[in-house]
Amino acid sequence: MPPTLKACTPPPYPMAPSMTPVTRFIRESAEVFTFDLAPERATPFTPGQFNMLYAFGVGEIPISISGAADAPDRLTHTIRAVGPVSAALGRLKAGDQVGLRGPFGVGWPVEEAKGFDVLLIGGGIGLAPLRPAIYWLLRHRAAYGRVGVLYGARTPDDLIFVSELEEWRKTPDFQLRVAVERAGPEWTGDVGYVTPLLSKLRYDPADAIAMICGPEVMIRATALALEDAGIADSRIFVSMERNMKCAIGHCGHCQFGPLFICKDGPVHRYDRVRDLLAYREL
Amino acid sequence: MAKADEAAAIITVEGLQDLLQAIRAGGYRAIGPTVQNQAIVYDDIESVEDLPRGWTDEQDGGRYRLAKRNDDALFGYSVGPQSWKKFLHAPKLRLWTAERDGETASVTPEPSPTDRLAFIGVRACDIRAIEIQDRVLVGDLYVDPHYKALRERALIVAVNCGQAGGTCFCVSMHAGPRVEQGFDLALTELLDGTEQIFLVETGSDEGRALLAQVPHRLASSREVEAGEAVIEHTASSMGREMRSDDLNELLMSNLEHPRWDEVATRCLSCTNCTLVCPTCFCTSVEDVSDLSGERAERWRRWDSCFTMDFSYIHGGSVRASAKSRYRQWMTHKLATWIDQFGSSGCVGCGRCITWCPVGIDITEEVRAIRGCDTSAGDWP
C-alpha cells in the first residue's frame, strides 16, 4: 500500500525547508524541465502528492512529484517555467540545492483503483503529476484491468517525457493516445483536444476509474465527457491547482469553497467538486 | 482554562491594581486596553492608570468615536479595532533565516517565542475568536509553533461586557456577552454610583492562585445578581442581530445571488474587514535575500482574500472581480468555515462593520440574501 500523509510525523517547524541537492537535471522542452532531488531522509509519497520547492532567495512554489513512488530516496519534479520561482528553479544544475518541504496532500487513488480499468488523462504539464500513477500501474500491472492514457499538448514541441511516451506506446496491454492542438505536416498523430480520443480507448465504463490533471477548463470538459461515457462521478478524480503559500492549511490561499486544495486535495473526487467547479471565480 | 467553577469573589479597583502587579510579578507581559490615537487599542500596561477610565465608544457602520462616560468605568466600552490575534498570530513574523556557504545552504527556523502574555480585558467574543484560531493553527496535523508557544503560556483575564456596541451581535453568534469558558479569571465591573467593584470568577488553577494573592472577599448573592443583570442588560441591547442557524445552506445555495454584484459596487476591497476580524487567519510569505545573495529570510505577514494577488496562479487571479472576493470572504466566514473547522468563523464582534470605510454591514448583507433566496425560487 502506498504510504500516506498520516504516516508522517509533522516537523516542528513546518514552514522551514530542508536544503536538498539536485542530482539530475533534464530539459524536457523549451519551457519544461525535470530534476531529481536526493532528500536527506527517505521520503515516501503517494502518486499525486506535491512538495513545496524553494529557490534560494527567490521564493517557493508547490510542485507535484513526477517520479516513481517506489524510490523514496529520489524525488523527481517536472516544472514549467512560468514565473520568477519556476524560472529560477529552471536555472539550476546538478549539485545545486533546492529548499524542500513535503510531501503534502492527498494523491491519486491507486489503491482503490485495483481491479478497475484505469484511465489517466493529462493536459500539458498535467501529465507530470500523473506520471507517478502511471509508473505505479505499470509496476503493479496485474492488479488492474485495462489501462489507458490520454495526453494532450499545445504543439508537438510542447510534449514532455517524449522518449517515455514511445516506450509506453510499445508496452503491451497499455493504451496511449497523444493529441496536440496545433501541428505541422510532420505530425502524424491526433490533432485536437483529448476528449474525443476517449472513444478510442477500450474500457468498461461501469468498472473504470479515471484520473485527470490539466488546466481547469480541460478538467471540466474531460470530466463531463467521462460522465457522458458512463463513468460514475464518484469514480472520477481530478487534481486541482490554486495559489498556495504554506501547503499545511494555514495560509488560506488555496481555498476552493469548503476545501483546502493543499490538504483536502490536490486530488479530489469529482462528485465532491463538480458543483463548485460550475461557479466562476470561486 | 475551564468554565467558572466556584463562588465568585469581589475585588476593588485597588485589588485590580494588585492583581495586575501579581500578574506582572509572575513573569507576564500584561497587555490591555489603552486610549491611543482616539481609539481603544491593546498595548502594554503597568497599572490600572493605563486603562481607559471613564471612556466609552460609539460604533456604527463605518463609524467609531470615543466618548466620555459619566462614571469611572475601566471597561465601559465595547471592542476596539484590534483583537488579540495581533499578539498570538503576529501581523509580520520572520519564519526562518538561510545562509549560503559555498555550494550549500542551511535554514535556521526562527526560535519559538518564550514570552508569557497576559491579556487583560478579553471579551467573550474574543475568547471565542481565539478558540477558533486555535482550531486553525494548532488543531490539525500541522501546528504553527509560534502561535502554539504563545497560546499555551497566555493568561486570559476576561471581562463580561457592561455595554453592547452599536455593531455588536455576539448574541446572534452564541459567542457572548457572557464569558463562559477559556479564561483564567473573569471580571464583571459593578458600578452602582457609590462604589466601583469587580465580581471575579476563576476558571483555572492559575487564576485561583492569582486571586489568592490579592485582597478579596466572597461576593454576596446581591452582587452576583448585579453581575447577572449587567450581562443581561448587555445581551438585550445588541446593536445588530443576524439569524445564524442556517447560513451555510443559505449562502452556498445563493452563490450567484445578485446581491454579490450590488455589494461589489460599494466594497473598496480595502481589506480592513479581514485585518480587524479576530478570526481571519490568512497569511502570505515573502522570501527576501540580501544584496550578496548569501543570506535569505522568509517572512510571513497577514494577507487578505480581498487582494488580487491572493488567488493568483499563472495566467491570472482566480478571483479577479470584487464581487468574487467579497463573496469568498463572507461565504468563508459564515458558511464554509463550518465545514472546515466545525463552527462559524464569525463571533459577532462587529469590527468588520465598524471599520468598513463605506459601512458595509455583514448582518445587512445576510438579510438581503435571506430576503430574496434565489434557491427557494425568489426573484431578485
Segments making up each domain of chain B, as ranges: 9-91+101-235, 247-376
- The Cβ of residue B114 has, within 10 Å, a number of other Cβ atoms equal to 8
Taking 50 as the threshold, does the pLDDT of residue B191 lie above it?
yes
With bands split at pLDDT 50, 70 and 90, how would you rate the model's confidence at B376?
A: confident
pLDDT digits (tens, 9 = 90+) for B202-251: 999 999 999 999 999 999 999 999 999 999 999 999 999 999 999 999 99
Question: Phi-psi bin for B325: left (phi > 0), alpha (psi -120 to 50), beta?
Answer: alpha
The pLDDT-based confidence of A239 (bands split at 50, 70, 90) is very high
Element (H, E) at B39: strand B39-44
pLDDT of residue B380: 53
Question: pTM of the prediction?
Answer: 0.95
Most A CBs within 10 Å, among B95, B281, B313, B332, to test the A interface: B313
Residue with cell 475601566: B74
CB contact under 8 A, A282 and B332: no
Q: Which of B284, B319, B332 sits opposite A251 (nearest CB)?
A: B284
Give residue A9's pLDDT band: very low, low, confident or very high (50, 70, 90): confident
**B310 vs A97, A243, A280: nearest CB:** A243
In this complex, which of A13, A82, A260 lies closest to B314 when CB atoms are compared? A82
Distance CA B197, CA B218 (A): 12
What is the structure's pLDDT at A8?
62
Asked if the interface predicted TM-score (ipTM) of this complex is over 0.90, the answer is yes
| Mean pLDDT in residue range A131-135 | 98
Q: Position of cell 457572557? A: B178
pLDDT at A166: 96
CA of B335: which chain A residue's CA is closest? A258
pLDDT digits (tens, 9 = 90+) for A54-110: 999 999 999 999 999 998 899 999 999 999 999 999 999 999 999 999 999 999 999
Contact B138, B144 (CB under 8 A): yes
Which of B134, B141, B341, B343 should one mutate to test binding to chain A, selecting the residue with the greatest count of A CBs within 10 A?
B141
**Integer Cα distance of B257 and B285 in angstroms:** 33
CB nearest to A248's CB, from B142, B284, B340: B142
Distance in angstroms (rounded) separating the CA atoms of residues B81 and B36: 11
Contacts of A95 in chain B (CB under 8 A): 103
- Residue B237 burial class via C-beta count within 10 angstroms: exposed 0-12, middle 13-18, buried 19 and up: middle
Residue ranges of domains in chain A, CATH in brackets: 5-104 (2.40.30.10), 117-277 (3.40.50.80)
State how far the Cα of A162 lies from the Cα of A158, in Å rounded to an integer: 10
Cell of B313: 496562479
Average pLDDT estimate for A259-273: 98
List, for residues B303-362, the tens digit of each pLDDT value: 999 999 999 998 899 999 999 999 999 999 999 999 999 999 999 999 999 999 999 999
Q: State residue B375's pLDDT score.
A: 76
Crossing angle, helix B124-137 and helix B145-153, to 10 degrees? 140
Give the number of other CB atoms < 10 A from CB of residue B208: 15
Tell me the C-alpha to C-alpha distance, in Å, between residue A162 and each of A29, A157, B341. Answer: 9, 10, 44
| Percent above pLDDT 70 for chain B | 98
Strands B312-313 and B316-317: antiparallel
- CA gap A76, A74 in Å, rounded: 6
Closest CA of chain B from A150, distance in Å: 24
Place A2 in a pLDDT band, splitting at 50, 70 and 90: very low
Q: Is the pLDDT of residue A112 over 60?
A: yes
- Contacts A87 to B, Cβ<8 Å: none
For residue A4, pLDDT over 90 is answered with no
How distant is the Cα of B171 from the closest Cα of chain A, in angstroms? 25
In single-letter form, the type of residue at position B308 comes to: M
Q: For A20-47, what is each residue's pLDDT tens digit?
A: 999 999 999 999 999 999 999 999 999 9
Strand (E) or helix (H) holding A122: strand A117-123
Residue written as grid cell 477610565: B53
Mean pLDDT rounded to a whole number for chain A: 95
pLDDT value at residue A126: 97
- Residue A3: is its pLDDT beyond 70? no
Chains A and B form CB pairs within 8 A to the count of 129
Query: Which pLDDT does position B6 carry in this prediction?
Result: 64
Nearest chain B Cα to A248, which residue?
B142
Nearest CA-CA distance, residue A10 and chain B, Å: 6
Report phi then psi at A41, rounded to 5: -115, 150
The separation between the first and the last C-alpha atoms of chain B, rounded to the nearest angstrom, is: 48
pLDDT digits (tens, 9 = 90+) for B103-151: 899 999 999 999 999 999 999 999 999 999 999 999 999 999 999 999 9
Give the closest residue to A208 by CA, choosing from A115, A111, A107, A106. Answer: A115
Q: What letter would DSSP give residue B263?
A: H
DSSP string, B184-241: SEEEEEEE-SS-EEEEEEE-SHHHHHHHHTS--EEPPHHHHHHHHHHHHHHHTT-S--
Chain B residue with the nearest C-alpha to that of A97: B104
Contact A139, A70 (CB under 8 A): yes
- Of B247, B239, B79, B76, the residue nearest B171 (C-alpha): B239
User: Do B257 and B376 contact (CB within 8 A), yes or no?
Assistant: no
Cβ atoms of B107 and A99 closer than 8 Å: yes
CB A72 within 8 A of CB A78: no
Residues of B in contact with A253 (CB under 8 A): 282, 284, 303, 310-311
3-class SS string, B58-105: EEECCEEEEEECCCCCCCCCCCCCCCCHHHHCCCEEEEEEEEEECCEE
Chain A: closest CA distance from residue B159 (Å): 29
pLDDT digits (tens, 9 = 90+) for A150-205: 999 999 999 999 999 999 999 999 999 999 999 999 999 999 999 999 999 999 99
B242-295 pLDDT, tens digit per residue, is: 999 999 999 999 999 999 999 999 999 999 999 999 999 999 999 999 999 899
* Grid cell in block for residue A171: 508496452
Q: Which of B144, B252, B332 sits opposite A255 (nearest CB)?
A: B332
CA torsion sign, A70 to A71 to A75 to A78?
A: negative
Rounded Cα distance between A276 and A158, Å, is 30
CB contact under 8 A, B143 and A14: yes
Strand partners, A75: A37
> Mean pLDDT across chain B, nearest whole number?
95
Region label for B217, one of left (φ > 0), alpha (ψ between -120 and 50) or beta (otherwise): beta
3-state secondary structure of B375: helix
In this prediction, residue A130 carries a pLDDT of: 98
Mean pLDDT of B64-76: 97
What is residue B1's predicted lDDT score, i.e. its pLDDT? 46
- Cell, residue A32: 519544461
What distances in angstroms separate CA A64 from CA A12, A48, A52, A100, one per listed residue? 23, 6, 9, 12
Q: Which residues of B touch A251 (CB under 8 A)?
A: 282-285, 303
Predicted confidence at residue B4, as pLDDT, reads 52
Check residue B372 and give its pLDDT: 85
Phi and psi of A150, rounded to 5°?
-115, 135
Please tell me the predicted confidence (pLDDT) of residue B194: 81
